Amino acid sequence: MSHSAEGAMDRLFVAVHLPSEVSSRIQEWADKLAEHVNFKKWVHPQDYHITLQFLGDTPTHRIEELTKGLQQVAGEHKPFKLGIQDAGVFGTSSSPRILWTGVGGDLNALAHLQQSVVSKMQSFGFAPEDRPYRPHITIARKFQGNQKFSLDEIGRGPDPIQWSVQELVLFRTNLQSIPMYETVGVARL
């Protein structure tokens, strides 16, 4: 499968990647949960991330210019602290689409960074999403239990842990692979 082929497309998104000690903290919690809460797909720990912007199908040859654009954005931002906190779901509360861990810490810095990414990507022709930005870390998708799902079962989420955000990552989605997301560009703050 040649990625240099004319017209080759990649599903891309911009995100904050989690350091391994943060991912393992979430994974411990998710593993305990998976024993009694049934979701169709649990996210691979190396795939945990906080999406800043989903770009979708993009010509592979644009990865380099997008990475340069992200490096310009990153250069205008200082590293900042985030943490994991709480847990919740998207979708109906009794049968959620997505189980997530929440993000705490310097959310203003995160929102500011996300805005900068969006306006930079707009200059490359990517339209901003029209929904408000809600930072989260997806843990599992598509509840499929026999009983109704209850938020009480999942408790407070993983034990809190903080880290310093030092970079933006441009990820490519490889749907058949595990882990599924591959770093194709990095921009240091």
| Known catalytic residue at 36 | no
Residues 16, 50 contacting (CB under 8 angstroms):
yes
- Which letter, b or e, does each residue of 141-178 get, where b requires 16 or more Cβ atoms within 10 Å of its Cβ? bebeeeeebeeeebeebbeebebebeebbbbbbeeeee
Three-class DSSP category at 122: helix
Three-class DSSP category at 4: coil
| Known catalytic residue at 49 | yes
Read off the DSSP letter of residue 34. Answer: H
Q: Select which of 49, 61, 77, 112 is catalytic.
A: 49
Q: Select which of 3, 36, 112, 136 is catalytic.
A: 136
Number of Cβ atoms within 10 Å of the Cβ of 102: 16
Q: Which residues are catalytic?
A: 49, 136
